Amino acid sequence: MSEQGKFIVIEGLDGSGKGTQISRLAAALSERGVRFELTAEPTPHATGGLVRDALGGITKRTPAELAGLFLADRIAHCQNPHNGIAALLKQGVTVVCDRYYYSSFAYQGMDLGLDWVMSANLGCPAILKPDLCIFLDVPTEVADRRISLGRSSREIFEQAETIERVRRKYFEVFGILSDTHNVKIINAARTPDEVFADVWAAAAEILDGTEK
């Protein structure tokens, strides 16, 4: 039987460079012969489509509806018998996920309060706990500038006045989870090479047989 894979989550504000760092992490894992799968939330499942419609402003949802949709999408993400996170990990595949429940805590937690959103996710036995969360931290003004340069339009949470609220909520969440979750906060306002050196160091700590 293959050894259990590792579950790594990459989090950050929009404009933090998640896409770049996930690509570089994938290349490093491939070079070292680590079996891995890239995944993301919202997922390609039907529930993920409903989430994306809401984020894009196509369908109006209340904060509670959106949190519930994310929860349903996350359960499907974890438990799909063919390509779900649990199935992949059991096969010895390392899973690298772009956003997970930390995003729900930060974004939906602004309007609903953290208690309900956190308890719904952390108390659900179908939702898996990551081995590592890497948070790519950038100042609000850096995130806003990068979004402006890279997008022709913005999603509902990408407005400048919301970005700082989200960043503060992330740090509140990480404070609450400091004793129970493995979270590494990385300064992502530096060059991609400097950022990736820290990303790889954090990932390598939990990957058996992988050198830093």
With tokens 């909520």, the residue in question is 169
User: Which alpha helices (H) appear in 32-155, and where do they start and end?
Assistant: 46-55, 63-79, 85-90, 101-107, 109-112, 114-122, 140-150
Domain 7-40+94-206 is in which class?
alpha beta
Dihedral-angle region of residue 134 (phi above 0 means left; psi in -120 to 50 means alpha; beta otherwise): beta
What's the pLDDT at 212? 38
pLDDT at 56: 84
pLDDT tens sequence across 147-156: 666 554 545 4
The pLDDT value recorded for residue 209 is 47
H or E element, residue 41? none
Residues of the chain predicted below pLDDT 70: 1-2, 146-161, 208-212
Strands 36-40 and 132-137: unpaired
CA 167 to CA 62: how far, in whole Å? 21
Single-letter amino acid code for the residue at 173: V
The three-state (H, E, C) secondary structure of 121-177, written as one string: HHCCCCCCCCCEEEEEECCHHHHHHHHHHHCCCCCCCCCHHHHHHHHHHHHHHHHHC
Give the pLDDT confidence score for residue 113 in this predicted structure.
Answer: 85
> Could you read off the pLDDT of 65-98 as tens digits, one per residue?
999 999 999 999 999 998 999 999 999 999 999 9
- pLDDT reported for residue 154: 46
The per-residue pLDDT for 146 is 64
The pair phi, psi for residue 3, each rounded to 5°, is: -70, 145
Question: Which pair of tokens denotes residue 68?
Answer: 């519930």
What pTM does this model have? 0.89
Q: Kindly calculate the radius of gyration of the chain based on its CA atoms and give it in whole angstroms.
A: 17
pLDDT at residue 55 in the model: 84
pLDDT at residue 210 in the model: 42
43 within 8 A of 100, measured Cβ to Cβ: no
Q: Give the sign of the dihedral formed by CA 53, CA 15, CA 194, CA 185.
A: negative
State how beta strands 94-98 and 132-137 pair.
unpaired
